[in-house]
A and B are shown apart, each in its own frame.
Chain A
Amino acid sequence: DTGVSQDPRHKITKRGQNVTFRCDPISEHNRLYWYRQTLGQGPEFLTYFQNEAQLEKSRLLSDRFSAERPKGSFSTLEIQRTEQGDSAMYLCASSSELGNTIYFGEGSWLTVV
């Protein structure tokens, strides 16, 4: 098992463009989490899935953000009409349903210029 994998690792985009990040969790982990982290801050919760069901969304997840996990395996996080304030690292994590070990990926850095 190679751990939680995120792609791309770095993305530079122009304001107003759409971006999509992908997360492949550890196999057989049915919980998947998305977090956002800006410089000097701790990660902020965005949303999480159990299998394909999106169980909770933060109010940080505006209508420009959408996350999916269509088959209960990988997940995508799409940001539409990006703004400079979206510049951050987007972290994905996964765990089993028991939730006692939650592993993070290396993150996807987004820079909006």
Chain B
Amino acid sequence: GEDVEQSLFLSVREGDSSVINCTYTDSSSTYLYWYKQEPGAGLQLLTYIFSNMDMKQDQRLTVLLNKKDKHLSLRIADTQTGDSAIYFCAPLPGKLIFGQGTELSVKP
């Protein structure tokens, strides 16, 4: 079946790097996405990676994909208080599949 798992919480200090991990089960995913959700808002597309890539860098964001282990991570460099939100990874085997997300708390 389709399943996505993430740690529920992550707390970091401002200026540190944050690493949010995700494991998924469906190996047919063509793209894998990271979304950010602030309280009461919709989902903001942060970045995505094609399944035949193993790394993508986009400004402060670095996505690593280990397709063999079905593991995806998002690294946020120089984390700011404005990065506090819930982060969802979402593989795309035809449609986006979401887990519960990781709540990132950034302390000043």
B 58-108 contacts with A by CB, 8 A: 88, 92, 94-101
Partner of A45, one of B41, B44, B95: B95
Contact A43 B98 (CB under 8 A): yes
Contact A100 B43 (CB under 8 A): no
Residues of chain B within 8 A of A35, CB atoms compared? 96, 98
The interface size bin for chain B is 20 to 34
Contact B98 A99 (CB under 8 A): no
A 62-103 contacts with B by CB, 8 A: 91, 93, 99-103
Residues of chain B within 8 A of A48, CB atoms compared? 95
Residue A21 lies at the interface, judged by CB distance under 8 Å to chain B: no
**Tally of A interface residues using CB under 8 Å:** 21
Residue B10 lies at the interface, judged by CB distance under 8 Å to chain A: no
Residue A7 lies at the interface, judged by CB distance under 8 Å to chain B: no
How many whole Å from B55's CB to the nearest CB in chain A? 17
Partner of B33, one of A102, A105, A107: A102
Contact A33 B45 (CB under 8 A): no
B 29-71 contacts with A by CB, 8 A: 30-31, 33, 35, 41-45, 48, 50
B interface residues (Cβ-Cβ under 8 A, vs A) = 4, 30-31, 33, 35, 41-45, 48, 50, 88, 92, 94-101
